Amino acid sequence: MMEKQHVILSTRSLVKYFFEPVKFKVLNEVSFEAYQGEFLTMVGKSGSGKSTLLYCLSTMDTKYEGEIFIDGDKVTGKRVDQLASLRNSSIGFVFQFHYLLPEFSCLKNIMLPALKLGRYSYSEIEERAYQKLELLDLKGQALKQASKLSGGQQQRVSIARALINDPKIIMCDEPTGNLDSKNTQIVFETFKHLAADYGQTIIAVTHDNDFAAASDRTIELADGRIISHRKDFSQEP
Amino acid sequence: MKKNVNIDIAVTHIVTRKKQTMVAALGVAIGVAIYLFMNSLSSGFTVYSRNEIFKNNAHIKIYKEDEISQPIDTGRGDRLTVISNPQITTLSNRLIDPAKLLQEVKQEPFITNAIAQVAFDAFYRRGKAQVPGSGVGVDMRDYNAMFNTEKYMVAGSIDDLHNNLNGIIIGSGIAEKLNLGLGDNITVSSSYNVVKNLKIVGIFTTGSLMTDQSKSYVNVSTAQQFQKEGPSYISTLFANTLDANRSEEYVAKLQTIIPYKVEDWKTTHADVLAGDKTRGALMKAISVSILLVAGFGIYNILSSTIAQKINDIAILKAAGFTGRDVVRIFVTEAFIMGIIGTAAGLLFGALLIKIMSGIYMGGPVGYFPIYFEPRLFATSFLLGLGITISAGYFPARKAAKVDPVEIFRK
């Protein structure tokens, strides 16, 4: 299993401070690698820095020390518009809240990042959006307004949106935090499928131990440091 | 067809928030309509007052300035100062060789028309009744070409004066006061005590009481006799130019070739112009303020839209939309509101102008002097759109600076 794998994302001595209310070191020399096709979860107590780490990796937070590489390319120090286009083409995001644009149909919500990327024509993008909806078992909801769906459906639409540009990495912040067990199961299966069959890397911050346990690898953080890289979280002593 | 995704988002926002869009657009519409209407009002009135001026005055007037005697010594340095008593020393206000002068003036490319005239002080009499006034000796056909006097003739015609050396055209006020009509004889005497019996060949009404009760037109030769001068005597030259508004530069050019005083209408009517200017500034200030208020309406509505849509902005930025994209989205929304509002405002303003132009004011004014001026429509359009776009730009820039991490971590 651990043959030489392609490193899709890596960090080198990541350090980050918070200045409010007092200066505080949130991330302390964090270095790790994530591989192509890996379903990686990050766990830790509240305040351990796991979400902060995720937002640094996401390229949206640029105020850190150390270096981040995505697919061999150093992203630290790039201009904001370069980072935006990198996110557009290579990273998909799923949050605890769905963040769908309420005025748009589900289909249109999914299409927006692809329309921004402009790699395909409008009709091709539409076709691809339908495929993603099918993948998440939502085909019947395509033309409904995003605000009219149930919470679980909305979250699945937001996952479809994260997938539309076939990103190399999908980053998730508590993706199942608001979901019932049935929807959690669907989301989990989808991620598994994406990692195994499409070679996409999933990096998910979670509180859900079962969710973490079922992933390929779990990184545990405490006080801004990585304290373990366990493959099987459930066998914690 | 590849549709721009930013415009797509902006249009969707607009369409799904029709009511707010309409409120914002209505604000702009009212602002633009009032701006257009007030400026048309002001401009129409300026046109009217210009026309009033040009009824009796040409763009440029050439006459001999009174000469003032100069002190013998100005007393500079340690020389003795000689105090003198400056006095007008004009012996005659005659222009020397007026025919040649007129020719020279007419040759200038910017002069469209020029005439010579002899002015004199006149007393119109019938029996014991006497009306003071002023007479003008002109070639009536040339004069008509310049001032369109024919328009104001109520009896007789200007050709009759041309054909009758002893004819006179008088204002209706004089005719009324002396109870005279067309074909009657009138006794006119000048300040040089020349008395003549002239036949009334025409009567005019300009609407200005002062003019109608004092002014008369005679042939040049008659006027020269009133002034006790020979046939080469001319007191004033009038000239019209291509563009009355550029009269200053024409005056400067003419002054270099003419030894007499060249004066443009702006100098003669500085008081009227200053009044026009003040009114124009007042109207502009009020109308621009109203437009600015409309701009604040857009600012307000867009600011609240952005506050409500902060999550949407965050996810768009996460998904790879740049700050510039976000600015484009919201400026496009302001632009759409601006276009709708400005177009409606222009229509509404045009309607107001149409209604106003149909109101009869009576007297010499006639219908209210307000016109459809494409120039004002263009400025209203540009200003309305400009203000809405800049009003949209500031909240849009704020939206572009939204830090998505802050939103997601809440």
Task: Pick the residue from chain A with its C-alpha nearest to B315.
Answer: A99
Separation between Cα atoms, residue B125 and residue B174, nearest integer Å: 10
Q: Taking chain B, what is the end-to-end CA distance rounded to the nearest angstrom?
A: 39
Q: What is the pLDDT of residue B390?
A: 93
Residues of A in contact with B16 (CB under 8 A): 103
Interface pTM, i.e. ipTM: 0.91
Q: Where do we find the tokens 């952005």?
A: B306
pLDDT at position A237 is 38
| Lowest-pLDDT range of A141-150, B92-101, B283-292, B319-328 | B92-101
Residue B182 dihedral angles phi and psi, to the nearest 5°: -60, 130
| Model pLDDT, residue A177 | 86
Q: What does the pLDDT read at residue A236?
A: 44
Beta carbons of B316 and A112 less than 8 Å apart: yes
Chain A residues in contact with B5 (beta carbon < 8 A): 112, 115-116, 118
**CA B307 to chain CA centroid, nearest Å:** 48
Helix (H) or strand (E) holding B310: helix B310-318
Q: Which of A89, A93, A103 sits opposite B12 (nearest CB)?
A: A103
Out of A77-81, A92-96, B152-156, which region has the weakest mean confidence (pLDDT)? B152-156
pLDDT in tens, B187-202: 999 988 899 999 999 9
**For residue B332, which of B308, B310, B305, B372 has the smallest C-alpha distance?**
B305
pLDDT interval class at A60 (50, 70, 90): very high
Question: Cβ B2–A61 below 8 Å, yes or no?
Answer: no
CB pairs under 8 A between A and B: 75
pLDDT tens-digit profile of B209-252?
888 899 999 999 999 999 888 888 888 888 888 888 888 888 88
Q: Provide the 3-class DSSP secondary structure of residue B155.
A: strand
Range of lowest pLDDT (A94-98, A172-176, B252-256): B252-256
Ramachandran angles phi, psi of B178, nearest 5°: -95, 5
The amino acid present at B262, given as its one-letter code, is: V
pLDDT of residue B112: 86
H or E element: which one contains B211?
Answer: helix B209-212
Give the type of residue at B269.
H
Of the candidates A194, A195, A165, A12, the one whose C-alpha atom is nearest the C-alpha of residue A85 is A165
pLDDT the model gives residue A204: 94
Burial class (CB in 10 A: 0-12, 13-18, 19+), B19: exposed
In this complex, the residue of A99, A116, A121 whose CB is nearest that of residue B320 is A116
Contact B312, A100 (CB under 8 A): no
Q: How wide is the angle at C-alpha B11 spanned by C-alphas B5 and B12, nearest 5°? A: 90
Q: Which amino acid is present at A135?
A: L
Q: pLDDT at residue A3 above 60? A: no
Q: Are strands B111-126 and B185-190 parallel, antiparallel or unpaired?
A: antiparallel
Helices and strands, number each (H, E), in chain A: 7, 10
CA angle B246, B248, B254 (to 5 degrees): 110
As a whole number of angstroms, the distance between CA A169 and CA A59 comes to 12
Task: State whether B312 and A99 contact (CB < 8 Å).
Answer: yes
> What is the three-class DSSP state of B77?
coil
pLDDT in tens, B137-173: 998 888 888 888 888 888 888 888 888 889 999 999 9
pLDDT tens across B20-43, in order? 899 989 999 999 999 999 999 999
pLDDT over 90 (residue B332): yes
* pLDDT computed for residue B71 by the predictor: 66
**What pLDDT, on the 0 to 100 scale, is given for residue B362?**
78
CA–CA gap between residue B162 and residue B166 (Å, rounded):
10
Q: Considering CB atoms only, which of B317, B321, B408 is closest to A95? A: B408
In this prediction, residue A2 has a pLDDT band, given cuts at 50, 70 and 90, of very low
The C-alpha of B4 sits at a distance from chain A's nearest C-alpha, in angstroms, of 8
User: Which residue reads 């702009």 in tokens?
Assistant: B28
Is it the case that residue B81 has pLDDT exceeding 80? Answer: no
Angstrom distance (rounded) from CA B248 to CA B258:
15
Query: What sign does the dihedral B98-B101-B107-B110 (CA atoms) show?
Result: negative
Please enumerate residues of B whose Cβ is less than 8 A from a Cβ of A.
1-3, 5, 8-9, 12-13, 16, 311-312, 314-325, 403-405, 408-409
Distance CA A172, CA B115 (A): 90
What is the pLDDT, as a whole number, of residue B56? 76
pLDDT at A172: 94
CB half-sphere exposure, B289, CA atoms < 13 A: 6
Label residue B110 by pLDDT band (50, 70, 90).
Answer: confident
Q: Which residues of A touch B (CB under 8 A)?
A: 51, 55, 58, 60-61, 80-81, 84-89, 93, 95, 97, 99-104, 108, 112-113, 115-118, 121-122, 161, 173
Which chain B residue's Cα is nearest to A115? B5
pLDDT in tens, B356-391: 999 998 777 788 899 999 999 999 999 999 999 999
Helices A106-117 and A151-163, packing angle to 10 deg: 20
Please report the pLDDT score of residue A1 as a whole number. Answer: 43
Asked if B267 and B250 count as a contact pair (C-beta separation under 8 A), the reply is no
Residue A232 pLDDT exceeds 60: no
pLDDT value for A231: 62
C-alpha distances in Å from residue A74, one per residue of A10, A11, A77: 9, 10, 8
Those residues with Cβ within 8 angstroms of residue B70's Cβ, 6 or more apart along the chain or in another chain:
B84, B86
Q: For A87, which of B318, B325, B403 is closest by C-beta distance? A: B318
Compute the average pLDDT of residues B338-347: 95
pLDDT above 90 covers what percent of chain A?
A: 69
Contact B13 A99 (CB under 8 A): no
- Cα B153 to Cα B157, B171, B206, B209, B217, distances in angstroms: 7, 9, 8, 15, 12
Per-residue confidence (pLDDT) for residue B1, from 0 to 100: 37
CA-nearest of A50, A9, A7 to A28 is A50
pLDDT above 50: residue A235: no
- Residue A172 to chain B, least CA–CA distance (Å): 11
What's chain A's average pLDDT?
Answer: 89
DSSP string, B223-280: HHHHTT--TT---EEEEEES-GGGHHHHHHHHHHH-SSEEEEHHHHTHHHHHHHHHHH
